[in-house]
């Protein structure tokens, strides 16, 4: 076991992984920006954001710009930590597939 | 048989993880860095600078027994020429970069460009204003050095927000600027080297990489 424990099930999806990737290198991003970068539909993106928000991996901040609602997302400390753990686990798995399979 | 199945399963898993990692990298880069800077625009900027410098050298510079006065006709033309070189370079960069952004399926005006420009302009505008203030009191001597230094600082500062090695061009410009400050009287040659030759060299390297990437 060990490495495989750090693979986070919540990040095991292309869109959620994408959201975390974008937010981990940017202070924040709004909904349209995420939608453009990830090339997904509104509903799809919203549901994945909700999942990450529920896990307290991302922060949601609602405000108004020119009287239009604007929602900005940023990664929480917990989210960042979990994401780093996840990436490290991925890298280890790729580097040492043999040790992994022998452990299973 | 079971062993074969499991190993096949792990190879597939491994491929998925590899995909994940590359996807993470691509998104991190695309969301935080501007990737469509065009190398050609660097080459053009260098050519404009050299042409501008030649015009200045043969037509506008004071003869040996003359001094360059503030607000004299050739002083004003010199400033105008400098502005024209800068404007032409910016316009060319804008045109070529937006063309490349379109090819990359990127918007030219997105948060990465805004961040890039903002961070590029902080040192550049500071330096520009400083040089203008010094010019008002007829301190021309260090203008070339100051232009090189502040331009280099602007490049280094902006380099965090774009891919490629703009940083190194920035370091070269800073070093050139400092050397230039140490050798008064040779400002013109340092300026031509920093803004002309270096842009052409750097732009060509970038352009070559762009073409290599395409094939």
Q: What is the pLDDT of residue B44?
A: 94
Measured CA to CA, the distance from residue B157 to residue B162 in angstroms comes to 10
Measured CA to CA, the distance from residue B119 to residue B161 in angstroms comes to 8
Q: Does B10 touch chain A (CB under 8 A)?
A: yes
Q: Answer whether residue B172 shows pLDDT above 90.
A: yes
Q: What is the pLDDT of residue A102?
A: 46
- Name beta bridge partners: A68: A65
Query: Tens digits of per-residue pLDDT, B196-212?
Result: 999 999 999 988 988 88
- Name beta bridge partners: A61: A72
Measured CA to CA, the distance from residue A92 to residue A96 in angstroms comes to 6
Q: Answer whether residue B56 shows pLDDT above 60.
A: yes
Using alpha carbons, list the distances in angstroms from residue A102 to B6, B14, B94, B158. 11, 14, 55, 47
Confidence of residue A98 (pLDDT cuts 50, 70, 90): low
Ramachandran region, residue B37 (left: φ > 0; alpha: ψ -120 to 50; beta: rest) = beta
Contact B6 A104 (CB under 8 A): yes
Mean pLDDT of chain B: 87
Contact B28 A100 (CB under 8 A): no
Q: Give the closest-approach CA distance of B9 to chain A in angstroms.
A: 10
Q: Answer whether residue B6 shows pLDDT above 70.
A: no
Helices (H), B104-136: 111-136
Contact partners, residue A83, CB within 8 Å, separation at least 6: A8, A11, A20, A24, A57, A75
Looking at this predicted complex, what is its ipTM?
0.77
Q: What is the pLDDT of residue B151?
A: 96
Between B6, B10, B31, which is nearest A22 by CB?
A: B31
pTM for the whole structure: 0.77
| CB of A62 closer than 8 Å to CB of A19 | no
Q: Give the closest-approach CA distance of A56 to chain B in angstroms.
A: 20
Contact A17 B10 (CB under 8 A): no
3-state secondary structure of A62: strand
Q: Does B17 touch chain A (CB under 8 A)?
A: yes
Query: Tens digits of per-residue pLDDT, A16-74?
Result: 999 999 999 888 898 988 998 888 999 999 999 999 999 999 999 998 888 888 899 99
Contact A101 B6 (CB under 8 A): yes
Q: What is the pLDDT of residue A100?
A: 47
Task: Please tell me which residue, A101 or A47, carries the higher pLDDT value.
Answer: A47
Task: Please tell me which residue, B40 or B138, carries the higher pLDDT value.
Answer: B40
* Mean pLDDT across A75-91: 90
Q: Chain B: residue nearest A102 by CA? A: B7
Q: Which residue, among B4, B15, B28, would best test binding to A if mutated, counting the most A CBs under 10 Å from its CB?
A: B28
Retrieve residue B106's tokens: 């990127």
Measured CA to CA, the distance from residue B43 to residue B204 in angstroms comes to 6
Q: Answer whether residue B24 shows pLDDT above 70.
A: yes
Q: What is the pLDDT of residue A103?
A: 45
Contact partners, residue A23, CB within 8 Å, separation at least 6: A29, A58, A73, A74, A75, A79
Q: What is the pLDDT of residue B42?
A: 92
Residues of B within 8 A of A26 (CB-CB) are 31-32, 111
Q: What is the pLDDT of residue B100?
A: 84
């Amino acid at each position: 076991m060990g490495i495989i424990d750090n693979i986070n099930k919540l990040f095991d999806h292309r869109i959620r992984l994408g959201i975390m990737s974008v937010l981990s290198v940017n202070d924040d991003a709004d909904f349209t920006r995420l939608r453009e970068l990830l090339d997904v539909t509104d509903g799809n993106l919203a549901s994945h954001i909700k999942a990450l928000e529920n896990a307290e991996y991302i922060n949601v901040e609602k405000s108004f710009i020119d009287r239009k609602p604007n929602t900005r997302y940023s990664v929480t400390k917990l989210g960042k930590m979990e994401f780093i753990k996840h990436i490290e686990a991925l890298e280890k798995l790729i580097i040492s597939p043999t040790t992994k399979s022998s452990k299973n | 048989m079971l062993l074969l199945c499991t190993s096949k399963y792990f190879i597939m898993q491994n491929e998925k993880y590899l995909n994940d990692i590359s996807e993470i990298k691509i998104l991190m880069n695309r969301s935080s860095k501007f990737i469509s800077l065009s190398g050609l625009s660097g080459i053009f900027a260098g050519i404009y600078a050299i042409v501008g410098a030649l015009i200045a050298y043969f037509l506008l510079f004071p003869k040996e027994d003359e001094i360059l006065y503030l607000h004299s006709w050739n002083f004003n033309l010199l400033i105008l020429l400098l502005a024209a070189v800068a404007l032409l370079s910016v316009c060319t960069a804008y045109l070529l970069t937006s063309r490349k952004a379109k090819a990359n399926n990127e918007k030219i005006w997105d948060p990465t460009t805004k961040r890039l420009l903002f961070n590029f302009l902080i040192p550049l505008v500071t330096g520009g204003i400083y040089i203008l203030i010094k010019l008002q009191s007829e301190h021309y001597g260090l203008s070339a050095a100051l232009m090189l230094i502040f331009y280099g600082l602007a490049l280094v500062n902006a380099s965090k927000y774009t891919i490629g090695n703009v940083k190194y061009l920035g370091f070269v410009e800073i070093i050139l600027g400092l050397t230039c400050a140490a050798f008064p009287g040779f400002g013109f040659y340092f300026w031509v080297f920093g803004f002309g030759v270096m842009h052409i060299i750097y732009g060509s390297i970038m352009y070559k990489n762009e073409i290599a990437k395409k094939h």
